[in-house]
Amino acid sequence: MSRPSAPAGEHTPGPWRFIPLADYARPHGPTTATVRRELRSIFRGFFGRPEQPEPFSGPEKLYPPPARLTEAVSPALRPDLAAEDLLPTCAVVMEHPSDNVLVADPPGGAGIAALALAARRCRMPIIAPPTPEAVLTGGGEWLSRLARYREGPVCIPRLERLFLRHADGLTLLRRLGELLAAGDRTFFCGCGTFAWAYLRRVLDMGALFPGPLTLAPFDGQALGRWFASAPPLTGHVTVRQADTGAPVLPDDDAPDAPASDFLKNLAFYVWGQPGAALAFWRRNILFGADPLALRHPHSDPDPTERPLWVRPFAETTAPEMPEPNRRDTVFVVSALLVHGGLPQDRLGRVLPLMADAIPGVLSRLRRAGVIAATAGRWRVLPVALPSCRRLLAEQGYLADDV
């Protein structure tokens, strides 16, 4: 199905738009700083942490900033804008059966949330996933619930919740594939990019979704405009390069100016993915005064008058994979990415590891900042995606297409 164009004069602002997954391209790079940073991470992973260089000395001693200053340069993801780009497609499939639509979304992305928003605006039924227990028994009750919607399109936002990488864990998706192939109605589906790479290989699901979509990558200029769009504080917050004093974000009077080298490097490092870029950005923003000292009655009453800083890109920090040459590390990282996160008890069902070995691996990855648990479900953090992709590539494991 070719996606319908929006009416003349209407378009999605900025980069919050969908493109064919096959057209996704990593933003241009690298520069020397990015190469140095990635080589340093590889060296640390295999040979341990080298002797530390002399402490970095910027314009002032640098500290993590007060939370409100970090928020001042940390915008929200905008699935609402991305949803606008899907509405014309939604409107067409609500009226006429068409090819199935799939949105592939990386961890921490906004694409699946945009898909659900667009479906709600079009009054399309949204089908919640079954429990993991139901997946392992074939999902008969869930399929019966789906069958109640006999006419019109339906939205299934998370295909990765419909299977487990287990001998008994693919039956439900195979049965759903029969419905997808029938072509008598349209399915609007979302799926994590790592899960989609797996399902294309194992179940040939690419034949059921001929033109999967994903959000367009952010280059350095798009990141700069987005970071600068965060709701302002009372004062004006600037972000400068700690080694040169040069501004990092675009000036209000020149939003289309070329991106700073820092932002170009960041866009390349995170493969243009805004969720990963934002997490990296928040981790590396620094402040030129001790936040505790600002509580002193004689301190500067308005810290927004002080700039925020970022170190040169080669000196920034991101989670590094602990013991990347251990097979259990790559087993767990791959499983969490393919399933979009899993509870600990379900990890034992999909890993070639003894159950009592899994807590130790999770603990190492958590301490390294690679994963975290939310509501009992372990997930890879967006800021760790570059390290995870490098690990999968080095170990010859399947990765996603973005």
The CATH number of residue 143's host domain is 3.40.50.300
CA atoms within 13 A of residue 241's CA, in its CB half-sphere = 17
User: For the chain, how many structural domains are there in total?
Assistant: 3
CA–CA distance, 83 with 117 (Å, rounded to integer): 6
Question: Which CATH number belongs to the domain containing residue 348 in this structure?
Answer: 1.10.10
The 286-287 sheet, strands edge to edge: 239-241, 308-310, 286-287
- Which range of residues forms the domain containing residue 375? 327-380
167 assigned to some structural domain: yes
pLDDT at 252: 73
Q: How far is CA 112 from the centre of its chain?
A: 11
Q: Of 176, 192, 215, which residue is a domain's last?
A: 215
With beta carbons less than 8 A apart as the criterion, state whether 172 and 143 touch.
Answer: yes
132: region left, alpha or beta (phi > 0 left; psi from -120 to 50 alpha): alpha
With beta carbons less than 8 A apart as the criterion, state whether 101 and 133 touch.
Answer: no
Peptide bond into 30 cis (omega under 30): yes
Burial of 189: CB neighbours in 10 Å, binned 0-12, 13-18, 19+: buried
- 369: closest CA among 381, 379, 361, 359? 381
Domain match, 209 and 177 both = yes
The single-letter DSSP state of residue 236 is -
Q: Of 194, 215, 236, which residue is a domain's last?
A: 215
Three-state secondary-structure class, residue 335: helix
The single-letter DSSP state of residue 248 is S
The 213-215 sheet, strands edge to edge: 18-20, 213-215, 101-105, 187-192, 154-156
Domain match, 277 and 178 both = no
- For the record, the structure tokens of 320 come out as 């590094």
Cα–Cα–Cα angle for 137, 143, 149, rounded to 5 degrees: 170
Burial of 107: CB neighbours in 10 Å, binned 0-12, 13-18, 19+: buried
7 assigned to some structural domain: no
320 assigned to some structural domain: no
238 assigned to some structural domain: yes
393 assigned to some structural domain: no
Whole-angstrom CA distances from 332 to 63, 159, 321 are 34, 20, 12
- 153: closest CA among 217, 201, 95, 70? 95
H-helix or E-strand spanning residue 374:
strand 371-374
Domain match, 204 and 122 both = yes
pLDDT at 55: 47
Listing DSSP states for 155-215 in one string gives EE--GGGG--SSTTSSHHHHHHHHHHHH-SS-EEEEEEHHHHHHHHHHH-GGGTSSS-EEE
- For the record, the structure tokens of 175 come out as 């049965």
Max distance between CA atoms of the chain, in angstroms, equals 73
Provide the angle, in degrees to the nearest 10, between the axes of the packed helices 261-269 and 32-47. Answer: 50
Domain match, 154 and 252 both = no
Domain match, 331 and 342 both = yes
Mean pLDDT by 10 residues, the chain (402 residues): 40 76 88 60 54 50 85 93 94 84 97 98 95 93 92 94 93 94 89 98 94 96 93 74 89 80 96 97 86 49 68 93 89 97 92 89 97 96 96 93 84
Domain match, 63 and 36 both = yes
48 assigned to some structural domain: yes
163 assigned to some structural domain: yes
Residue 373 makes CB contacts below 8 A (sequence gap 6+) with 344, 366, 379
Residue 339 makes CB contacts below 8 A (sequence gap 6+) with 160, 164, 165, 195, 346, 350
CA–CA distance, 11 with 16 (Å, rounded to integer): 10
Domain match, 376 and 346 both = yes
With beta carbons less than 8 A apart as the criterion, state whether 162 and 131 touch.
Answer: no
290 assigned to some structural domain: yes
